[in-house]
Structure 1
Amino acid sequence: MEYVLALDAGGTKTLAAMADASGAVTSLRAGPSLDPTAQENWQDLFLEMVAPALQKPGLKAAVAGLPFHDELLALSARQSELASQVLPCPVLVQNDVRIAFDGAFAGAAGVLVLSGTGSMAWASLNGTNDPHYRIGGWGDGFGDEGSAFWIGRESLGLASMALDGRSDAMPFAHALLAEMGLAEHQLIDWVYGVENRRSSIAAIARITAGLADQGVSDAREILDRACDCLAAHVSAAQRRLDAGSSLPWSYAGGVFANAYVLNGVCDRVGSRPVSPVLPPVGGAVLRAAQLAGWNTDKAFIEGLSMSLNEAFQSI
């Protein structure tokens, strides 16, 4: 049997899928993030994620959506080199947001805004010769506005100001610390002591979202500013394409699982998003199938979508 391999690696986790020429997903596995800025052993983890695909014949093509690809040049070269050396088939390494775009629109034009551990938008009219634009994605040092990391960092910043008496947000600070299971004096030790600071701070976004759902005004104010940032990504992408607000937009990433954020971005953009045709790992499968020369018509995409939905129930 012939099959393709697809990787979707974000800042928190990695999904590896194998699928056949009908679009049926034969394997879907979850593993740790392949973020090279946080995981010194990311190359070993990559080998672990692709190992099952190397144990059976018939691998026709592979696509890997990896963090920071096409952003950090030397690192991007290492990512591509590793994938080409390890996988005995045509292989394409892309930015993880590019494969989310491919999944969301499945060949159509649009703007994809992703907010997970980091944030970025990807946009194209998606014709044969049309350029692709990346908006945002400058990393947690001076970017990733509206992302889970950004929300977590803003939450910690507000809490620290309240603990100092520089803000009147003490109820928010106490609620945040209680959810984290920390006393006031333990906060700085926790932040600088966690093994993976990026993903750990990003995880705080869930706490802030929960407090916002409870009506905590300071938590909602942080999420409101995140909505401002994410909507600005969409607007900037539409301007880059000179397409106006009529160009459809879609979304990906765990931050958008929060209804307050999704509705807030919709209000600011002025339109509802189109539902993603496929999840990001499905975008990687679709690209891999095209790389293999398979027929990726409507029936293939619909079958892939149904098969992925079933496969997600098992992980």
Structure 2
Amino acid sequence: MTVKRSGKGFAVDVSGNALDARSLIKQFTSDVDTATKTTGTDAVSVSADVNSLSGFHDEVLSNLKLDYSAAGSRVNRLKVSAAASSGAAITISNTAGNGARALTMKSADAGAILRFLNIYEHMEGGSITLALSGTADGPMRGQVDSSNFFIVNEPKLASIVSTTPTGDSRSLNEAVKGKIDTSRVKFERGFTEIDKGSGYLKLANGVLRGPRIGTTFQGTLYDQNNNMDMTGTFMPAYGLNRIFGELPLVGVLLGNGRDRGLIGVTYRLKGNANKPVLDINPLSVIAPGIFRSIFEYR
């Protein structure tokens, strides 16, 4: 490592065999209010060429090339290229200037990069593209799109399947007369629009689509008080149900659009974001798609 004084800041050049990146990740992934507001004036630029980079959940990236610039706690520039343990390419870019900020991330191993960044630990494989933009000190909006991945041992997914709704004596598994195994679920696509501001994260028009399970979702993932308020529709046997949605006439009458199945239940997750309370509407399990919106939580 070499450190040189450059005006009122420092230029750091790092090279080596291994580096623990968790402290840098925490700053980069922190909320907008702490990541964009400057608490000091010292400028720091970092250039790194490291063979092995350690992140969260025991994920390690290789062949890291990093270009980083910050003033105080404000990240002005971050460009990263690396490879996951699977060999998949990963690129991250965070740029700021002229009062605007843009963040993009691409990876051919979505699960690896999300675990590495400590964003989500229940995803395996797949590709992912994230694109957000906004003002330097304001919310960032955009979307995330992923494909061909697995969700593994997700407790919220297991709760939706196994919980017995108020007013009904059956769980969703019992209602559809089948055993829905949520330990490892394949999805063909995951998509949501994102609104990320000071202390909050809101999602809209979200959909997870797979041959066995499909779900739509929207709402506040967490707010300034760490509360969640998410609603959606959960559809078992999605590969079969979506056939109705693909048929021109039947799809309009019953499928309620291409991303809706014929049979499903509406749900709500509300309360503390770490342990939200799950509420399921028992009536919607027998309702065709076009009527399901009547029972959705608002």
Give the TM-score normalised by the residue count of structure 1: 0.25
Higher RCO (Cα < 8 Å, 6 or more apart): 1
Larger radius of gyration: 2
Which structure dedicates a bigger proportion of its chain to strand?
Answer: 2
Which structure dedicates a bigger proportion of its chain to helix?
Answer: 1
